[in-house]
Amino acid sequence: MECIHCKGQMKKATAPFTVDRKGYLVHWDAIPAWVCVQCGEAYFESREVDLIQKAFSVLDRESAALTASSRATNAR
């Protein structure tokens, strides 16, 4: 596999993943990925992307419930 950024070789490893989203910060230290040995660019396979998206769905739902609960408490 070849890196689309620098044409370096990719190897199976792990990579960090961080997102600042809708009022919360999510960081994973080691998600399985293909990582370029030359520039460090990481590519996640569809399985990992699906799991990340599922985690965000849960976080979005729970965060919305938590925020709604907080608003209801403050309105009293």
pLDDT in tens, 44-75: 999 999 999 999 999 999 888 887 765 555 55
> How far apart are the C-alpha atoms of 31 and 27, rounded to whole Å?
10
pLDDT of res. 65? 85
pLDDT of res. 13? 98
SS3 41: coil
Domain annotation for the chain: domains and CATH numbers? 10-75 (3.10.20.860)
- What global pTM score does this model have? 0.76
- 15-48 pLDDT, tens per residue? 999 999 888 899 999 999 999 999 999 999 999 9
pLDDT of res. 39? 98
pLDDT of res. 76? 55
45 in Cβ contact with 75 (< 8 Å): no
